[in-house]
Amino acid sequence: MDRDFLIIGGGIAGVSAAARLSELGSVTLLEAEDSLAHHASGRSAALYEPRYGLPPVVELSLASGDFFRQSDGILSPRGIMVLGRDHEAERFATEAGLMHLEQISPDEARAIVPILAPEVSHVGLAGHAWDIDTDLLLQRFAREARGRGARILTNAPVTSIARDGTTWRVTAGEEHRARILVNAAGAWADRLAEMAGVRPLGLTPYRRSMARIPAPGGLDVSRWPMMFGVGETWYAKPDAGALIVSPADEDPQEPHDAWADDMVLAEGLARYEEMVTEPVTRLLASWAGLRTFAPDRVLVIGEDPRVPGFFWLAGQGGYGFQTCPAASRLIADLVGGRSPEMPAALVAALSPQRFA
């Protein structure tokens, strides 16, 4: 079936792009797994913290703010707290400035999170962080796309890509044809590019492990902020009456259905335990996802400089959900030949042309 736009990848990047591009023409989205958001998008920490990341990422996250604020039920208050010890004072001060944190006393912090250890001497707090209802957001975009006639196909792994003049021919069970191909394949984005005869960008997937533990001391953790160790050496976030704790690991991996490394998880939990009074006695669950970064750790959004009609929407790293409103708007502007709403300098910072 001939379509205007063919998107490969059913994570939040691809699904949000499908919603935006469906305003401009006919769309087919192909997802290899049996459900959307099976890989990184389904294993997200689900936080909107717009001050997190390098300057272009922060700018893209801030540009997504109006969408989130105007979308009922997507965001709920969470807040963030960064914790440091005496020997981390200098790095703590740097992070507190970059993340716009208010410095509070350890006693004030314990009034919020009672389990903080005596070793915690530096605390930064901010309210500008919110939980994202990731499933609601994903389904909203999918419903919007389908409402305009988009085909969203699961169990559709791509086995071949070829160019026939100005038309892409993609085999995923059946043959799909489109004039524009959008690469939103996450950890597989470079492999997909090679399949299409496009030079890869050097995208690297990194494993991020997670563990769910019982609420420490049986306390009500629902109002606790998300907590980070200085330098993001670990983090913990309330989740459905329990805590999710991550060692914040970044181990390069080949694209695959990731799982947690027990040793890495144990080391991260030990770093978390150094900052609290309640030991971890058991895990409720553990898992891992792959966060894929470009060499400069900034998202890649735009048309390939060498292959017309091939658009990158890749390298989301850990920022996919919090940037998707602005990122999907940008890809639609670029595909549609419209002047992007965001500043030219940001568009250039995100463009794959920076790797040419």
Instruction: Reply yes or no on whether the pLDDT at 332 is more than 70.
Output: yes
pLDDT band at 309 (very low <50, low <70, confident <90, very high): very high
Mean pLDDT score, 137-153: 98
Into which CATH architecture does domain 2-45+134-203+295-355 fall? 3-Layer(bba) Sandwich (3.50)
pLDDT, one tens digit per residue, over 163-212 is: 999 999 999 999 999 999 999 999 999 999 999 999 999 999 999 999 99
| pLDDT in the model for residue 1 | 67
- Token pair of 328 as six digits: 């999907």
Cα–Cα distance for residue pair 76/315, rounded to 1 Å: 26
**Is CATH 3.30.9.10 the classification given to domain 80-126+204-293?**
yes
- Token pair of 255 as six digits: 């694209």
- Token pair of 276 as six digits: 């609290």
User: Which DSSP helix (H) or strand (E) runs through 239?
Assistant: strand 235-239
Mean pLDDT score, 298-312: 98
Instruction: Reply yes or no on whether the pLDDT at 41 is more than 90.
Output: no
| pLDDT in the model for residue 24 | 98
Amino acid at residue number 208: R
Average pLDDT of every residue of the chain = 96
| pLDDT in the model for residue 39 | 80
Cβ-Cβ contacts under 8 Å for 240 (sequence gap 6 or more): none
| pLDDT in the model for residue 137 | 97
In the chain, CATH 3.30.9.10 sits at 80-126+204-293
- Token pair of 306 as six digits: 């060498």
34 burial (CB, 10 Å; 0-12 / 13-18 / 19+) is: exposed
What DSSP character marks residue 177?
E
- Token pair of 122 as six digits: 């530096």
Using DSSP's 3-state secondary structure scheme, residue 346 falls into helix
In the chain, CATH 3.50.50.60 sits at 2-45+134-203+295-355
| pLDDT in the model for residue 141 | 98
| pLDDT in the model for residue 27 | 98
Instruction: Reply yes or no on whether the pLDDT at 346 is more than 70.
Output: yes
Using DSSP's 3-state secondary structure scheme, residue 2 falls into strand
Please, what is the end-to-end C-alpha distance for the chain in angstroms? Answer: 33
